[in-house]
């Protein structure tokens, strides 16, 4: 399908979904639970098909990482939402002040309408379907625009979701950047975007033309900070896992490490030892994921070579390119003390390259973090919970982990989102559910209400109520 045909199709689908929503503004909770159960069953039944499609899109994607980071995540999200939906969707009673009694005050959680979901390539199934879980739970209809970098996954999403839902309920739009741009300009009732910060700014501008509320799940340079009391070898194990999982193509991967000054090389060598143990022989290791495109691979190469040319030391796992059979394999890499003005330290890396820098104590590390954009995640390593919590109190990030990276996003009841340049809004669990409804405030008065007694002309009764109100 050409881009122009895709754009015409999505305009027609939006009109159809809005009409369908008007015809059924409040989808019953039991039907929403059924929608979630169908989605959960789909991922269980077609998980292998999705793993194959994602593997083909990447050129090599670890099936274990797909199972953990994609299928398992969506199944858990759908199940959690289904189990808690009746409570989430119920109206919330609120207290009524004496001056307004008798009466009832409550909040109705009502679906906004049609949600647009723009999903990225790095977790092409999870980041399309997890927001869909929240949208369906809220009673919304949804249109999904997957990334053009993962066309096979996008095609499979289209195929499988069209088998489960009518297109006036859930639809998938395939196409390139022009289609994505037109998609973001549609007058959705809510737009949910996951991707880079620069593109997120453009998405926010496009949505602003329609006053469409947006959730922006972006990225940034998420630091891993090691306190002086924490063993470097112990920290290296989990940081290596978090950094090189999915070859670093994870929005909450540790982007750089700050270690006690003087320990940079020792820590870098420890990270490389752990990477070699987890992913030996990366050329032929099916558990080590490829970079998504030649363009992204070339960008990573340029970043590392720029730092090397500036005098930074580069540690890198061996790679037999002939054996790899894929020119987009980028081996685990550590860069010791890259210049702060280098691309490695200015841009989100989004690949298996870990810069390591020194700090002169946690106050210095906090200053370093705070001088930069708010990160999506921050990881602090300390044997002392008090020390770790004090560091969190001195800094700000979308989410955080103590002594482990990334796992905070797997706790269903924790909100997941950024702050500042790393995003706005959040989802997962009830927070995700609350992204898509409008919380409508309602005050119900009986047929006759005492407030009539303070209508103009104002007199003694008004003065009495005024004293009650002001104390």
Reading the block at residue 135, the tokens are 């949208």
pTM of the model: 0.93
Q: Six-digit token pair at 99? A: 């001056």
Look at residue 101 in the predicted model and tell me its pLDDT: 85
* Predicted local confidence at residue 322, as pLDDT: 77
Range with lowest mean pLDDT among 122-136, 321-335, 358-372:
321-335
Domain harbouring 288, CATH code: 3.40.309.10
Position 467 in a domain: no
Backbone angles phi, psi at 256, to 5 degrees: -155, 160
Specify whether 147 is located in the same domain as 40.
Answer: yes
Q: How far apart are CA 328 and CA 307, in angstroms?
A: 20
pLDDT tier at 72 (50, 70, 90 boundaries)?
A: very high
CATH number for 193 = 3.40.605.10
Q: In terms of domains, do 312 and 187 share one?
A: no
Give me the domain span that covers residue 311. 223-416
Shared domain for 206 and 255, answered yes or no, is no
Q: Look at 211-215, 318-322, 387-391 and tell me which has the smallest mean pLDDT.
A: 318-322
Mean pLDDT for the chain overall = 94
38, part of any domain: yes
Which residues partner with 20 through β-bridges?
none
Tokens of 194: 């996951």
Residue 455 lies in a domain: no
Which segments of 255-356 does DSSP mark as H helices, in order?
264-278, 294-309, 321-324, 343-346
Instruction: Please give the Cα distance from 372 to 392 (Å, whole number).
Output: 15
Residue 169 shares a structural domain with residue 238: no
Same domain assignment for residues 135 and 257: no
- pLDDT tens for 215-254 read 999 999 999 999 999 999 999 999 999 999 999 999 999 9
Structural domain contains residue 46:
yes
Could you give the residue numbers annotated as active site?
217, 251
Q: Does some domain include residue 450?
A: no
Has residue 471 got a pLDDT over 80?
no
> How far does the chain reach from its first CA to its final CA, in angstroms?
69
CA distance 441 to 457: 29
pLDDT per residue over 251-270, tens digit each?
999 999 999 999 999 999 99
Asked whether residue 464 is assigned to any structural domain, the reply reads no
Strands (E), 376-454: 377-381, 399-402, 416-417, 423-424, 426-427, 437-444
Q: What is the model's pLDDT at position 315?
A: 98
- Joined together, the tokens standing for residue 281 give 């022989």
- The strands making up 92-94's β-sheet, listed across from edge to edge, are 92-94, 104-111, 437-444
Residue 166 has pLDDT above 70, yes or no: yes
Residue 468 lies inside a defined structural domain of this protein: no
16 and 81 part of one domain: yes
Contacts of 321 (CB under 8 A, 6+ apart): 283, 327, 329
pLDDT of amino acid 325: 77
Q: For 129-143, what is the mean pLDDT?
A: 97
Using alpha carbons only, what angle is made at residue 85 by residues 170 and 437, rounded to the nearest 5 degrees?
60
Co-location of 244 and 207 in the same domain: no
Classify strands 333-336 and 353-359 as parallel, antiparallel or unpaired. parallel
Residues 6 or more apart whose Cβ sits within 8 Å of residue 266:
232
Q: Which residues contact 111 (CB under 8 A, 6 or more apart)?
A: 21, 25, 26, 27, 138, 139, 140, 436, 437, 438
Are 270 and 278 in contact by the 8 Å Cβ rule? The answer is: no
Question: Using alpha carbons only, what angle is made at residue 364 by residues 358 and 366, rounded to the nearest 5 degrees?
Answer: 105
Based on the domain organization, do 194 and 269 belong to the same domain? no
| Residues 429 and 408 both lie in one domain | no
Confidence category of residue 320, pLDDT binned at 50, 70, 90: confident
Residues 113 and 140 sit within 8 Å (Cβ to Cβ):
yes
Q: Which of 466, 445, 374, 377 is nearest to 101 (CA)?
A: 445
- DSSP type of residue 408: G
For the cut 90, the answer to whether the pLDDT of residue 2 exceeds it is no
Number of structural domains in the chain: 2
What is the SS3 string spanning 410-424? HCCCCCEECCHHHEE
Helices 151-164 & 29-58 angle (0-180, nearest 10)? 160
| Alpha-carbon span 111 to 292, nearest angstrom | 36
Tokens of 350: 């989004």
What gap in Å lies between CA 213 and CA 189, rounded to an integer? 7
One domain, residues 328 and 282: yes
Question: Helix/strand/coil (H, E, C) string of 44-104?
Answer: HHHHHHHHHHHHHHHCCCCHHHHHHHHHHHHHHHHHHHHHHHHHHHCCEEECCCHHHCCCE
Residue 212 phi/psi, 5-degree rounding, is -80, 125
Q: What is the pLDDT of residue 420?
A: 94
Do 289 and 378 fall into the same domain?
Answer: yes
**Does 461 reside within a domain?**
no
Q: Do 174 and 189 fall into the same domain?
A: yes
């Amino acid at each position: 399908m050409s881009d122009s045909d895709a754009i015409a199709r999505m305009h027609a689908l939006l009109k159809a979904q809005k009409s369908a929503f008007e015809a059924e503004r409040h989808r019953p909770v039991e039907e929403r639970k059924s929608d979630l159960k169908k989605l959960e069953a789909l991922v269980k039944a077609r998980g292998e098909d999705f793993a194959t499609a994602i593997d083909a899109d990447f050129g090599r994607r670890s099936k274990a990482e797909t199972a953990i980071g994609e299928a398992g995540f969506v199944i858990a999200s759908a199940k959690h939402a289904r189990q808690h939906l009746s409570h989430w969707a119920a109206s919330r009673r609120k207290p009524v002040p004496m001056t307004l009694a008798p009466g009832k005050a409550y909040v109705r959680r009502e679906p906004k309408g049609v949600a647009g979901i723009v999903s990225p390539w790095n977790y092409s199934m999870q980041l399309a379907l997890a927001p869909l879980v929240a949208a369906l739970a809220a009673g919304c209809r949804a249109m999904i625009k997957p990334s053009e970098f993962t066309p096979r996954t996008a095609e499979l999403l289209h195929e499988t979701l069209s088998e489960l839902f009518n297109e006036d309920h859930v639809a998938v739009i395939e196409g390139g950047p022009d289609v994505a741009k037109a998609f973001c300009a549609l007058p959705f009732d809510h737009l949910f975007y996951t991707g880079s910060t620069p593109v997120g700014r453009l998405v926010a501008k496009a949505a602003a033309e329609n006053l469409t509320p947006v959730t922006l799940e972006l990225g940034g340079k998420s630091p891993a900070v090691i306190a002086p009391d924490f063993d470097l070898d112990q920290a290296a194990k989990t940081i290596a896992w978090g950094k090189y999982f999915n070859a670093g193509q994870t929005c909450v991967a540790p982007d750089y490490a700050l270690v006690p000054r003087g320990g940079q090389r020792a820590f870098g060598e420890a990270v490389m030892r752990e990477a070699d143990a987890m992913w030996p022989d990366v050329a032929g290791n099916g558990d080590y994921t490829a970079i998504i495109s030649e363009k992204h691979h070339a960008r990573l190469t340029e970043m590392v070579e720029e730092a090397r040319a500036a005098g930074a030391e580069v540690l890198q796992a061996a790679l037999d390119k002939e054996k790899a059979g894929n020119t987009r394999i980028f081996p685990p890499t550590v860069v010791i003390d890259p210049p702060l003005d280098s691309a490695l330290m200015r841009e989100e890396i989004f690949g298996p390259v870990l810069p390591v820098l020194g700090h002169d104590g946690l106050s210095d590390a906090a200053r370093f973090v705070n001088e930069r954009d708010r990160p999506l995640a921050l990881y602090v390593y300390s044997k002392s919970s008090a020390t770790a919590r004090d560091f969190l109190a001195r800094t700000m990030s979308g989410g955080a982990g103590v002594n482990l990276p990334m796992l905070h996003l797997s706790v269903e009841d924790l909100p997941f989102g950024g702050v500042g340049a790393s995003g706005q809004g959040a989802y997962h669990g009830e927070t995700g559910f609350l992204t898509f409804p409008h919380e409508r405030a309602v005050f119900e008065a009986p047929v006759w209400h005492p407030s009539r007694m303070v209508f103009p002309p104002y007199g003694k009764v008004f003065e009495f109520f005024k004293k009650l109100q002001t104390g």
